[in-house]
Structures are given as C-alpha cells and as structure tokens.
Amino acid sequence: MYCSHICTTAAFLFALLPHGWASFYDNPEVETPPKSGTPLDELKEKWDFEWAFSGISTFAHLKHVKCLSTPYEPFDIGIIGAPFDTAVSYRPGARFGPRAIRAASARQTTFRGFNHRAGINPYTAWPTLLDCGDIPITPFDNALALHQMTSAYTELLSRRPQSHANPPNHIHPKLITLGGDHSVALPSLRALQKTYNQPIAVLHFDAHLDTWHPGAYPSAWASHPTQADFTHGTMFWIASEEGLIANSSSVHAGLRTRLGGDDYGDYSNDERQGFLRIEADDIDHFGIDGLVEMIMGRIGTEVPVYLSVDIDVIDPGLAPGTGTPEVGGWTTREMIQILRGIEDLNLVGADLVEVSPAYDNNAEGTALAGAQIVYEILTSMVKRGMKDRGEEIIERLKPGDIRKMALTDMVKGKKSPGSNHVKAEEVKDEL
Ligand SMILES: [Mn+2]
C-alpha cells in the first residue's frame, strides 16, 4: 500500500522527464571538452588528481622523492620521516609515527589547503615542497642511529634550495621532521648548528623538560659517557653541553611533568641550560595571547629557531598515542592558536615527535593532531617567507575581533557580517 502511492507518484514524475535528452542515468561516453595543450597535458588534466582517500600515502599528497639519494631534485621545504624509537623510556612505537602522520594528513590537499587562521595556502605558495621520505635508521645500534640521522640532516641542509635567496635569507632548505621519539631533535640541532654556524634557539613544546642529565635514570650499572646517555629525555642536555642551543633565547612550553628527587633541582639544572619555562597551567592565568607574548618576547623574530613539538604537550584525552603521556595538557585548539600566534619566528627547522600509533584511539586522533600541527608549522615557514619576499597576504581578523565586530553591528541593528574575510581596516573603523 505504501509502495503503491510512492510508485504512482514516481511514475507520474518520470513521465514528465524530457526523454529526448540524454540524462546522466544513460551513462553515456563522456566527451571531455577539447583542450589546448599536448596529449600529456590532457592526460594530466584528466588523471593527475587524488581524492583525500586515494593515492599512496605521502604527507598532504606531496610529491615523494627520496631526497637523500636524489640530489638533483631541489626543494625549499622538505617533510622527512625519522622512524626511530629505541631511545624511549616508557612506551615504544614511535617508529610508526611518520606513516601514521602521513595517513592522517590525507585531507590536507592543494585544492583545499587554505589556512583560514593564517590567510594563506601553504601548498600553493612560493616554496617547492617535497615529502622526502624516511631516513633509514638502524633500530639495533643507537650510536650508529645518531650518526646516520646527523649525516642525513647535514646532507639535506647542504643542498641549494629551489628558491635560493628568494626570500633573501633562504640560503638553506628547511626540514620538518616526523618522529620518531624525541631524541631525533639532537641530530637535527647538530646539523643546524653546523649549517648556520651558530647556536640555535629552541622552542620546545612538551609535557617534559627533556634537559635531564643522563644520570637522572638511576642505575647501579651506569657509566658515563655511554651510548645510553642518548635518550628522548636527555637530548637537550647533550645539545646544551655541545653548545648547540642558544642559551637565554630558548623556551619550554606546556610543562607538567613530575620532577626527580624531593625538590626543584631539575628546574635549576634546566635554568643553567638557558630555557624559559612555561607550564601547562600558565594558560589559565595568562591566556593564549599572554603565552604568545612571552614566547615572542623571549625569542623575537630574528634569531634562527628550531621548533620542536612533542605531541604529549596535548592532553592524552585528545592525543593518547604517545610514549610518555601526562594528564592535564593543552587542547589541540589551544595549541593551534599558540602556533598561529608565534608565526613570525625565524624558523630554520622543526619536528613533530612522539606519535606512537599503537596507543592511539581508533579514530587516529593523535596522528590527526600531529598532522595538523605540522600543517600549522609549515604555514608559518611559508608565510614568513611570503612576508620576506614582499608578497601580499590577506590580513585576517582575530576570532575576538570578529566576535566584537558582530556584536557591534548587532547592537547597531545591522546584520552580522558572519565572515572573516572582511578587511581589517573596515573593522577598525567600525570599532
Ligand atoms: Mn619530549
């Protein structure tokens, strides 16, 4: 009875269809309009496209080149995997981080890559971007692994970037590392210090200090120095000892770890290494703008900065898949806003480490957070380059400005603008 009514209606409507025309139900051979250009151009036009869910997994569908063994393919910014996790103190598994982050970046595409918070699309802007693949790192010998990573970074940083000297300070290519446990920051810093011939400021987002003395792990068997000194909790201590880190312009942000012993000894040790400490709880007292001000005040926009993000800076409720989870962390949204706030830093390299997918939730939440953080870092590198090249950037409004503007208009009885691409000057006039 139900069908009879529906079916009668359907039959009636079908009769009204213009049967003389081919409809898409006929599934005809589709003729694409003729294009000017070579047959190869036409093939590319038709077939060079990947949906978010299709294609071989690279970061954001970027072209994959094994950069280490392909010196004739220049790039400006390379994404490189460091699948290494034999220096962790708790949960191993971050060697699978690079592939998880790449998979989670699948919805980052050139055609939908505009960062509305930043006003640019990093995937269509000036730099040649490549997914440089992974550094082949031994899982059996950490001394050798450290050597391999240092050699790999040094090799890649020695290349001439595609857009050499445009912007003027773009003399070396830039790398964003997908970790890997956090120890991979040491070989990065070694290579950066050598390449730039100066100590590098470290902006370090993490629940933990990672400036611990190797002796912080008690053992009757300890001898020093030893290969066992190189861990994901000691690499900044080693880097400080080696003079790689710019003392007095480095920052930890997001700290909430328990400390060793019965006092603040870890902090005094940390201070000797020249870090400013911003704790996770500080966000409630100073807000995002306050934290951004502290970081920018400390580092400024000129000194070369290595931005090192341990995914455990995010609360494990949102990012559980990590080596040493600590409750009470920042939300992903807070982290994104902080990263947007510090976009004027002079980044010379970055990493996103400690994504350990075996402990992630089924919805790949940790890897998604990691992929988004890499996107924000990449956005900053690209945007700073655009500014240094004198390119025009769509000025964006801060979320607070938009809200204020909407409220002002509503108070005046006007329609709320409801969009954020209104020119900033117009709003300033309004306010
Ligand atoms: Mn760490």
HSE-CB of 157 using CA atoms within 13 angstroms: 24
* Backbone phi, psi, residue 272, to 5°: -60, -25
> How much is the average pLDDT of 368-383?
98
- Distance (angstroms) between ligand 1 centre and the Cα of 64 equals 28
What is the C-alpha to C-alpha distance for residues 44 and 265, in angstroms, rounded to an integer?
Answer: 61
- Distance (angstroms) between ligand 1 centre and the Cα of 154 equals 22
First-residue to last-residue Cα distance in the chain? 63
Q: Does the pLDDT of residue 333 top 80, yes or no? A: yes
- Distance (angstroms) between ligand 1 centre and the Cα of 312 equals 7
Q: What pLDDT does 376 receive?
A: 98
304 pairs with which residues across the strands?
346
What is the C-alpha to C-alpha distance for residues 178 and 350, in angstroms, rounded to an integer?
Answer: 9
What does pLDDT average to over the chain?
90
> How much is the average pLDDT of 339-348?
98
The two structure tokens encoding residue 392:
């025009």
Judged by average pLDDT, the poorest of 223-237, 246-260, 401-415 is 401-415
Q: Higher-confidence residue: 412 or 208?
A: 208
Q: Name which of 219, 171, 224 is nearest 195 in CA terms.
A: 171
- Distance (angstroms) between ligand 1 centre and the Cα of 3 equals 63
What is the C-alpha to C-alpha distance for residues 75 and 159, in angstroms, rounded to an integer?
Answer: 9
HSE-CB of 123 using CA atoms within 13 angstroms: 20
> How much is the average pLDDT of 344-370?
98
Judged by average pLDDT, the poorest of 161-165, 223-227, 311-315, 391-395 is 223-227
DSSP secondary-structure letter at 416? P
With the CA atoms of 105, 107, 108 and 109 taken in that order, what torsion angle do they form, in degrees rounded to the nearest 10? 130
Number of residues that this document lists for the chain: 431
CB atoms within 10 A of CB 92: 16
Report cis status (omega within 30 of 0) of the bond before 180. Answer: yes
Q: Name which of 374, 377, 366 is nearest 329 in CA terms.
A: 366
Cβ-contact 177, 59 below 8 angstroms: no
Q: Name which of 398, 368, 370, 394 is nearest 383 in CA terms.
A: 394
> How much is the average pLDDT of 149-153?
98
Q: What is the pLDDT of residues 49-97, one digit of tens each?
A: 999 999 999 999 999 999 999 999 999 999 999 999 999 999 999 999 9
CA distances from 141 to 137, 153, 274, 355, 405 (A): 9, 18, 31, 22, 59
Cβ-contact 157, 175 below 8 angstroms: yes
Q: What pLDDT does 418 receive?
A: 46
Cβ-contact 375, 108 below 8 angstroms: yes
What is the C-alpha to C-alpha distance for residues 351 and 175, in angstroms, rounded to an integer?
Answer: 8
- Distance (angstroms) between ligand 1 centre and the Cα of 363 equals 23
- Distance (angstroms) between ligand 1 centre and the Cα of 322 equals 10
- Distance (angstroms) between ligand 1 centre and the Cα of 151 equals 22
Q: Does the pLDDT of residue 417 top 70, yes or no? A: no
- Distance (angstroms) between ligand 1 centre and the Cα of 183 equals 8
Q: In sequence order, what DSSP letters do the residues of 263-294 get, joined into one string?
A: SSHHHHHHHHTTEEEEETTHHHHHHHHHHHHH
Q: In what order do the strands lie in the sheet with 250-255?
A: 129-134, 77-82, 174-179, 346-353, 304-310, 201-205, 250-255, 275-279
> How much is the average pLDDT of 416-431?
49
> How much is the average pLDDT of 221-231?
83
Q: What pLDDT does 221 receive?
A: 77
Q: Does the pLDDT of residue 359 top 60, yes or no? A: yes
pTM: 0.88
- Distance (angstroms) between ligand 1 centre and the Cα of 111 equals 34
Q: Collapsing DSSP states into helix, strand and coil, what is residue 86?
A: coil
- Distance (angstroms) between ligand 1 centre and the Cα of 37 equals 51
What is the C-alpha to C-alpha distance for residues 319 and 370, in angstroms, rounded to an integer?
Answer: 9
Q: What pLDDT does 394 receive?
A: 87
Q: What pLDDT does 419 receive?
A: 45
Q: Does the pLDDT of residue 265 top 90, yes or no? A: yes
Q: What pLDDT does 33 receive?
A: 62
Among residues of the chain, what percentage have pLDDT more than 70? 86
Counts of helices then strands in the chain (DSSP H, E): 12, 8
- Distance (angstroms) between ligand 1 centre and the Cα of 1 equals 66
The two structure tokens encoding residue 424:
């900033």
- Distance (angstroms) between ligand 1 centre and the Cα of 407 equals 42
> How much is the average pLDDT of 226-254?
95
- Distance (angstroms) between ligand 1 centre and the Cα of 309 equals 8
- Distance (angstroms) between ligand 1 centre and the Cα of 353 equals 8
> How much is the average pLDDT of 319-328?
98
